[in-house]
Amino acid sequence: MAQVSFEQALSRLEEVTERLERGDLPLEEGLALFEEGMSLSRQCQDRLDMAEKRITTLTTTLALDGMVAEEGQSA
């Protein structure tokens, strides 16, 4: 599957879920959609994990920068 944005992957995952929940698909089509949904779910989770790591890194860096600035002011 080509690289798509988080929003596109999530939207497609919602479509797949809706189709599967209807329960009117032939077995093979349902299995193919389930497989696609699992792949999309992993992609979304990976993107969320990466975003969380970036946020953690940024907030840690900002907190450390603030501590260094405070130490420099007290001298």
Choice between 62 and 10, residue whose per-residue pLDDT is larger: 10
Residue 40 covered by a domain: yes
Residue 43 covered by a domain: yes
35, pLDDT greater than 60? yes
Q: What is the pLDDT of residue 75?
A: 52
1, pLDDT greater than 60? no
Count of C-beta atoms within a 10 Å radius of residue 41: 15
CATH number of the domain within which 59 lies: 1.10.287.1040
Count of C-beta atoms within a 10 Å radius of residue 8: 13
Q: Which domain holds residue 66?
A: 6-73
Choice between 34 and 69, residue whose per-residue pLDDT is larger: 34
The H or E element that residue 75 is part of is none
- In the chain, how many domains are there? 1
Q: What is the pLDDT of residue 2?
A: 64
Residue 69 covered by a domain: yes
Residue 60 covered by a domain: yes
DSSP-assigned states of every residue in 16-33: HHHHHHH--S-HHHHHHH
Give the residue-averaged pLDDT of 2-22.
Answer: 95
Q: What is the pLDDT of residue 31?
A: 98
Q: What is the pLDDT of residue 3?
A: 81
Residue 1 covered by a domain: no
